Structure 1
Amino acid sequence: MGEIHEKTDVILIGAGTMSATLGALLKELAPEWEIKVFEKLSNAGEESSNEWNNAGTGHAALCELNYTPEKPDGSVDIKKAVKINEQFQLSRQFWSYLVNSDLIRDPQDFIMPIPHMSLVEGEENVSFLKKRFEALSNNPLFQGMEFSDNPEKLKEWIPLIMEGRTSNEPIAATKIDSGTDVNFGALTRMLFNHLKTKNVEVNYRHSVEDIKRTSDGLWEVKVHNIDNKTCEYHAAKFVFIGGGGGSLPLLQKTGIPESKHIGGFPVSGLFLVCNNPEVVEKHHAKVYGKAKVGAPPMSVPHLDTRYIDNKKTLLFGPFAGFSPKFLKTGSNLDLIGSVKPNNVLTMLAAGVKEMALTKYLIQQVMLSNEQRMEELREFIPSAKSEDWEVVTAGQRVQVIKDTEAGKGTLQFGTEVVNAADGSIAALLGASPGASTAVHVMLEVIKKCFPEHVLEWEPKIKEMIPSYGVSLAENPELFREIHASTSQALGLGEDLSLGQSVS
């Protein structure tokens, strides 16, 4: 069989949440555009987006303490928390639009209401949490949050965590009922099913091997058809690389100047999953703790109620691990293969600066199952080893780049890298990731299709009413949008917009 050469308008590489979101947005904004998707696995949402490969938290900074650092003067900086919350509201609005338009159905198959809580022990941490609560409660996005350092109240909120607790250390928690558990795997599959009805060509078991610029300015993607072992060449005006950990090697193949001096450091994750239904039923919340001193942000321990395949389950973690693979299904040569002449100094600088992270990862890899259970018992004192089993979560590639902070800085966020002319873009990085997919893809659209943004703006505002507006500065609009998205997504009653301390 001969080689296939075809042209199209848009190519999306990787069938995860990011490509699904960009594809869904573009099909609403430019329905006549031809879109092709290439995914090397046999289904959508099988890597980072898969429900077992991430924590399933709708990241809105309601409970994640690493988004609200304490400043040297002792006050709490909530800027990042507000920003992430606003970004998650964009996702809620777009998902609601899809549901209200009958483009996807049964939102409870991918999103469920679940209280989000922060839990700390020790006088200093309790003081920090109270200051955080007071700072956030003054912002409309966080109204409805409660704080308590009363053990009796905490027994009502988190009976499983408080059961058998003998420590005399002060303990406190915040709770907000407007949190969510999001099954990003299910959402991704729903979005791709929707895209297929819009004549988007989705090619599974097609591995992208190379990306080159052609003389006429198009991007030519060399694709290996895994099943019939043929080689295909597809050219497009615009290419989006949304291949999770596999994005960096593909970005490097493009040769664009923006791909230089960027490296990646892979971190794998493990969760403990509860297999005892009686224990699962005793807990109903996502409870985030505080990372240990010197530990990286991705190490924040949390005990999560999850809904997977319409079944309630309980996960604790993550425990970090190290693998040189950039994807769970990747190669042991991924890390070494990503080191190029243009980024070797960046990578070496990061190696020197991140000795604490290296030490932390080595310690995590060396943990026995019983040591993991001991960490779990800091959350659930009565936890029994026979009720929990280990599952391997996804690979995350943390971005390393040269910044104002210095050479070889490790980034703990989500980052878009695009060519100056907007003809190609790649998504790198990890958390908050999929939760803010709509915000991130709107940024891609603004950077890569500036000539269309003005004509598309009315449609964008129809899909996302708060587009271009700060919800934190418009409390009435926030309340209105939060109520309408809660209704559309089946998230129950809207916020009780009060706050309480007990």
Structure 2
Amino acid sequence: MNNKEIKTDVILIGAGIMSATLGTLLKELVPEWEIKVFEKLANAGEESSNEWNNAGTGHSALCELNYTSEKPDGSIDISKAININEQFQLSRQFWSYLVNSNLIRNPQDFIKSLPHMSLVEGEQNVTFLKKRFEALSNNPLFQGMEISDDHEKLLEWIPLIMEGRTMDEPIAATKIDSGTDVNFGALTRMLFDHLESHHVEINYNHSVEDIKRTSDGSWELKVWNIGTGNIERHTAKFVFIGGGGGSLPLLQKTGIPESKHIGGFPVSGLFMVCNNPAVVAQHHAKVYGKAKVGAPPMSVPHLDTRYINNKKTLLFGPFAGFSPKFLKTGSNFDLIGSVKPNNVITMLAAGIKELSLTKYLIQQVMLSNEKRMEELREFIPNAKSEDWDTVVAGQRVQVIKDTEAGKGTLQFGTEVITAADGSIAALLGASPGASTAVHVMLEVIKKCFPTYMNEWESKIKKMIPSYGISLMDNPELIHEIHTSTAKTLGLSEKELVLS
């Protein structure tokens, strides 16, 4: 054991997209600060940020139906869609700044233009989609969206999905060409390569075993060097816990009041991946459907064109499942180990309230390959079993906490827990996650470093011109940002022409 205490300014736990983004922002704002990263795996972006462990969708509410809801009066609430779209625009601007500054290169290796589509069947769903289209298409953030219930037009848009389809039910789709496919694994690795070249110490095969407060208000981390077997002690004034599903157990070890009465519910997933290039070539879009009754929002079925290692592929899913692990590389005791005296009531309340979700997950776990193929054929009527393989996607840990809606409320989103003094923060939850990493990390900076914000604001606005501005109220700025970021990131010319 190494008893020597190693001091630094900032420690980031987990080498995923969140730590990569926060580290890159801080390095631009205060290059003199010393930053260290601890990752228990051998490489960056191996868990939730890995390209095989998420949908790769640049989540901007262009196609995700669960970001718009129908009000009791029949109108469509698009407020969440607007928020998520604006948050994704921050990511695009920051990535463009990094490319223009030669801090990262070859943006085509992590982002590509790809149409985003919503597809529904049934008269009621078609009516909803049309109302959704009317609400969104009048908004400057969603200009360029089209809708059609014409079978010939849909055959032109999505031939793989339409061929062999019986026309018993009404069907409709929306399409917008300004969508993107994002390889968050590749982006994560690019950002860590950049950080390493700017003297950020990245420690792979290092597992953070404990976190405790020191007498001077700093945080001391007990770190296991997996390679040598040594235990190291590192202290920092600020710690960010960005360990994906592994963040909750570490947050609990801090003992901060904000960590109480919070639990986690792990949800695993599977994707089906097409191994037939001829089939892959017939589809060019991300097509999102509607979640089944009782399914969590993260289980919305979608058929996605993906670019992984610059190779075009096709994924369908996700199929939800249950595992007590909080990470793919985690332990079967993760869930039971997260139950503490201060959150046991919260966890039990969630178990009672979410019986329909539990039933759904059990049904998903029990699905055979042929049953999964049947679900795929709801999207691709002519799908053949031999053309599709199964891959295990990443683990997601949904936050459970007590809210105004009652004890044990399951949260479907991304959540940051911050100590009152801003000295430590932890990221929990899932979608839209990686797509809004820049927005989420700017919020962390704002909460944790309030005394620096006046000094840093001009630099933040240089990196992200729309920071602090409502894009909704500035259509000209939306057009300017779309145009400039599309050019820098090498995205489709169609994005440059927004009416």
CA–CA separation in structure 2 for the residues paired with 1:37 and 1:375 = 42
* Greater mean deviation of Cα atoms: 199-208 or 162-171: 162-171
The answer to whether residue 22 in structure 2 is matched with residue 33 in structure 1 is no
The answer to whether residue 307 in structure 2 is matched with residue 314 in structure 1 is no
1:294 Cα deviation from its structure 2 partner: 2.6
Q: What does residue 498 of structure 2 align with? A: 497
CA–CA separation in structure 1 for the residues paired with 2:290 and 2:36 = 42
Q: What does residue 10 of structure 2 align with? A: 10
CA–CA separation in structure 2 for the residues paired with 1:492 and 1:54 = 23
1:72 Cα deviation from its structure 2 partner: 1.1
The answer to whether residue 357 in structure 2 is matched with residue 339 in structure 1 is no
Aligned amino acid, residue 15 of structure 2: A
Q: 1:356-367 counterparts in 2 under 5 A?
A: 356-367=356-367
CA–CA separation in structure 2 for the residues paired with 1:495 and 1:347 = 48
Q: What does residue 416 of structure 2 align with? A: 416
2:2–2:233 Cα contact (<8 Å) kept: no
- Aligned identity (percent) is 84
Gaps of 5+ in 1: none
3-state SS of paired residue (1:168): coil
Q: 1:40-439 counterparts in 2 under 5 A?
A: 40-439=40-439
1:63–1:118 Cα contact (<8 Å) kept: yes
2:178–2:492 Cα contact (<8 Å) kept: no
Q: What does residue 459 of structure 1 align with? A: 459
Q: For residues 135-188 of structure 1, give each alpha carbon's deviation from its aligned partner in whole angstroms, at most 9, with x where no partner exists.
A: 001110000000000000000000000010013211000000000000000000
CA–CA separation in structure 2 for the residues paired with 1:358 and 1:165 = 32
3-state SS of paired residue (2:227): coil
CA–CA separation in structure 1 for the residues paired with 2:28 and 2:2 = 35
CA–CA separation in structure 2 for the residues paired with 1:153 and 1:99 = 37
Q: For residues 423-457 of structure 1, give each alpha carbon's deviation from its aligned partner in whole angstroms, at most 9, with x where no partner exists.
A: 00000000000000000000000000000001000
3-state SS of paired residue (1:400): strand
TM-score, length basis structure 2:
0.99
1:3–1:230 Cα contact (<8 Å) kept: no
1:472 Cα deviation from its structure 2 partner: 1.1
1:4–1:231 Cα contact (<8 Å) kept: no
1:413–1:432 Cα contact (<8 Å) kept: yes
CA–CA separation in structure 2 for the residues paired with 1:411 and 1:57 = 21
Q: Please tell me the root mean square deviation across aligned C-alpha atoms, in Å.
A: 0.7
2:319–2:364 Cα contact (<8 Å) kept: yes
Q: For residues 375-399 of structure 1, give each alpha carbon's deviation from its aligned partner in whole angstroms, at most 9, with x where no partner exists.
A: 0000000000000010000000000
1:5 Cα deviation from its structure 2 partner: 1.8
CA–CA separation in structure 2 for the residues paired with 1:230 and 1:248 = 24
Aligned amino acid, residue 279 of structure 1: V
CA–CA separation in structure 2 for the residues paired with 1:203 and 1:3 = 18
3-state SS of paired residue (2:168): coil
CA–CA separation in structure 1 for the residues paired with 2:350 and 2:497 = 46
CA–CA separation in structure 2 for the residues paired with 1:3 and 1:229 = 14
CA–CA separation in structure 1 for the residues paired with 2:74 and 2:38 = 49
Gaps of 5+ in 2: none
CA–CA separation in structure 2 for the residues paired with 1:454 and 1:133 = 40
1:497 Cα deviation from its structure 2 partner: 2.6
- In the alignment of these two chains, the number of paired residues is 498
Aligned amino acid, residue 406 of structure 1: G
3-state SS of paired residue (1:82): helix
1:495 Cα deviation from its structure 2 partner: 4.4
CA–CA separation in structure 1 for the residues paired with 2:293 and 2:269 = 19
